[in-house]
């Protein structure tokens, strides 16, 4: 197996793991910065490494449309194209089909869609999605799946589960590069019986890992955590478990406590560009006038490049002046915060005191 559990928390379901990929090992729990179009917005590969990134996520749909998977293949793959030597996970495009629903039509054979760039027509089959990801050279490939909005009727969910399973089997059969890992995506909406059906059927194919998909689609937080509560135990511990598109710092802490290993989310980069920064004591909106003369760093307890070198006053000046450096410095801080958060959780699991860390995390925010 490419994954092994190193240590388990004695006071929760949190676990420390090691995932081996073609481009290196990943300590879990792990957060993957989102580099949709072969770039984490405003950051260089060196910035990401200095922030502690072990792996990044890119997007099959977007790279297929621009610049094209075969062009990237001819450059030696995505790693060489973007000068990133560490692991890359690529999502399948299933979420883009969901988010761009007016431009797409789902059939048994795959998805017909129109480009959001120029309106041109395209078709994704499960086999084509695997071919694209093998051209990219993704260390971890994702199967094409059917993601539904919240709420969805049960008949829609049952259809999506069955089709996702058939597409998963076809994806596995289409794989030609066995050195690249392939994860299946468990769907089922907010219905426990359909989550169980999806998990049982996909587990029968013994993929390299399993993702819990179909979350962060508008459902209340308590519903999301409930789905994870009953879905995570369905997946045997020998597999890495990835919750897609999640989430806030609180989400990461709660999901790790439930035994989740991998995460991705656009929040740190998107919020950075909007001037909202994550700290150990909560959120900080840097454009607020109260920071105009503030000499302190964003977070006195943060050791990122931004906090070591710049004041809140300077960062506010950059942001309200719309200087490009604002986006880079804010993004460095937010990415570092997320990566350091999972690093702290790994250390807490290693030390056997994850629950103590969890309580301290919330207590700091309350104070």
Four-CA torsion 26, 28, 34, 38, nearest 10 degrees: 10
Q: Are residues 132 and 215 in the same domain?
A: yes
128 domain residue, yes or no: yes
**pLDDT at residue 216 in the model:** 93
278 and 233 in a single domain? The answer is no
3-state class (DSSP) for residue 261 = coil
Q: What is the pLDDT of residue 367?
A: 79
Q: Is the pLDDT of residue 323 over 80?
A: yes
User: Are residues 299 and 210 both part of a single domain?
Assistant: no
- At 102, the pLDDT band (50, 70, 90 cuts) reads confident
- Based on the domain organization, do 221 and 303 belong to the same domain? no
Decide which of 238, 266, 285 is a domain's last residue. Answer: 238
The pLDDT assigned to 93 comes to 87
* Mean pLDDT of the 96-103 span: 79
Are residues 268 and 335 in contact, defined by beta-carbon separation less than 8 angstroms? yes
**61-65 LR contacts (CB < 8 Å, sep 24+):** 61/91, 61/93, 61/96, 61/97, 61/124, 62/36, 62/37, 62/96, 63/37, 63/38, 63/90, 63/132, 63/136, 64/93, 64/122, 64/132, 65/115, 65/116, 65/117, 65/122
Do 173 and 82 share a structural domain?
A: yes
Average pLDDT for 196-209: 98
The answer to the question of residue 253 being in a domain is no
Report the percentage of the chain scoring pLDDT > 70: 100
- Check: CB of residue 211 under 8 Å from CB of residue 185: yes
User: Is residue 245 assigned to a domain?
Assistant: no
The reply to whether 213 and 288 lie within a common domain is: no
Residues 320 and 216 in one domain: no
- Residue 86, pLDDT > 90, answer yes
Give the end of a domain, one of 238, 265, 291.
238
Residues 173 and 289 in one domain: no
Contact 56, 88 (CB under 8 A): yes
Of 237, 204, 266, 252, the closest CA to residue 358 belongs to 252
Mean pLDDT across the chain:
97
**Residue 338 CA to chain centroid, in angstroms?**
12
pLDDT of 1 > 70? The answer is: no
CATH number for the domain spanning 72: value is 3.20.20.105
pLDDT band at 342 (very low <50, low <70, confident <90, very high): very high
Distance between CA atoms of residues 80 and 83, nearest Å: 5
Chain segment 140-190, per-residue pLDDT in tens:
999 999 999 999 999 999 999 999 999 999 999 999 999 999 999 999 999
Q: Which of 91, 251, 261, 299 is catalytic?
A: 91
- For the record, the structure tokens of 361 come out as 């995390």
**Is residue 97 very low, low, confident or very high in pLDDT (cuts 50, 70, 90)?**
confident
Angle at 219 between CA 218 and CA 225, to 5 degrees: 135
Which H, E and C letters describe 27-58, residue by residue? EECEEECECCCCCCCCCCHHHHHHHCCCCEEE
> What pLDDT score was predicted for residue 177?
98
The reply to whether 15 falls in a domain is no
pLDDT at 94: 82
Residues 292 and 217 in one domain: no
Percent of the chain residues topping a pLDDT of 90 = 96
Active site residue 91: yes
Tokens (6 digits) for 166: 């058939």
Kindly report, residue by residue over 214-266, the tens digit of the pLDDT.
Answer: 999 999 999 999 999 999 999 999 999 999 999 999 999 999 999 999 999 99
The domain containing residue 74 runs over which residues? 31-238
Is 11 annotated as catalytic? no
For 37-54, how does the pLDDT look when each residue is reduced to its tens digit (9 = 90+)? 999 999 999 999 999 999
Strand partners, 183: 142, 209
> Is residue 213 located within the same domain as residue 313?
no
* Structural domains of the chain, count: 2
Answer whether residue 11 is part of any domain.
Answer: no
Average pLDDT for 319-348: 98
- H helical segments located in the chain: 45-51, 60-65, 69-74, 78-82, 94-99, 126-136, 154-174, 192-203, 221-231, 249-257, 267-273, 305-309, 312-320, 324-351, 354-366
Identify whether 114 is part of a domain: yes
Mean pLDDT value across residues 194-202:
98
Is residue 339 within 8 Å of 27, Cβ to Cβ? Answer: no
Asked whether residue 88 falls in the same domain as residue 188, the answer is: yes
Report the C-alpha gap between 197 and 187 in whole angstroms: 9
305 in a domain, yes or no? yes
Is position 250 within any domain? no
Tokens of 156: 């829609």
Q: Which of 338, 292, 299 is nearest to 29 (CA)?
A: 338
Quick: pLDDT tens for 20-37.
999 999 999 999 999 999
217 plus 278 within the same structural domain: no
Active-site position among 201, 208, 261, 264: 264
Task: Name the domain boundary from 214, 238, 262.
Answer: 238
């Amino acid at each position: 197996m490419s994954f092994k559990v190193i240590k388990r928390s004695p006071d929760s379901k949190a676990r420390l793991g090691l995932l081996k990929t073609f481009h290196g090992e990943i300590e879990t729990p792990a957060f993957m910065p989102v580099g949709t179009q072969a770039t984490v917005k405003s950051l260089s590969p060196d910035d990401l490494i200095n922030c502690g990134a072990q792996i990044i996520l890119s997007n099959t749909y977007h790279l297929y449309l621009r610049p094209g998977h075969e062009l990237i293949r001819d450059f030696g793959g995505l790693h060489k194209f973007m000068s990133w030597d560490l692991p890359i996970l690529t999502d399948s495009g299933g979420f883009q089909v969901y988010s761009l629903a007016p431009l797409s039509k789902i059939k048994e054979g795959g998805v017909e869609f129109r480009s959001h760039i120029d309106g041109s027509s395209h078709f994704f089959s499960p086999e084509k999605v695997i071919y694209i990801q093998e051209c990219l050279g993704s260390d971890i490939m994702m199967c094409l799946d059917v993601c539904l909005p919240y709420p969805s009727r049960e008949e829609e969910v049952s259809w999506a589960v069955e089709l996702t399973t058939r597409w998963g089997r076809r994806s596995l059969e289409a794989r030609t590069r066995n050195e690249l890992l392939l994860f299946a995506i468990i769907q089922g909406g907010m219905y426990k019986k359909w989550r169980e059906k999806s998990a049982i059927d996909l587990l029968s194919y013994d993929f390299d890992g399993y993702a819990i998909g179909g979350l962060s689609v508008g459902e209340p937080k308590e519903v999301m955590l409930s789905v994870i509560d009953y879905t995570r135990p369905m997946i045997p511990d020998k597999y890495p478990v990835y919750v897609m598109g999640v989430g806030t710092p609180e989400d990461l802490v709660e999901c790790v406590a439930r035994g989740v290993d991998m995460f991705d989310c656009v929040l740190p980069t998107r919020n950075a560009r909007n001037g909202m920064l994550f700290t150990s004591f909560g959120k900080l909106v840097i454009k607020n006038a109260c920071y105009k003369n503030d000499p302190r760093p964003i977070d006195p307890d943060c050791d990122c490049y931004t906090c070591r070198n710049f004041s809140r006053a300077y960062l506010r000046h950059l942001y309200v002046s719309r200087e490009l450096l604002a986006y880079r410095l804010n993004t460095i801080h937010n990415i570092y915060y997320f990566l350091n958060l999972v690093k702290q959780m790994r250390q807490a699991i290693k030390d056997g005191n994850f629950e103590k860390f969890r309580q301290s995390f919330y207590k700091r925010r309350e104070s």
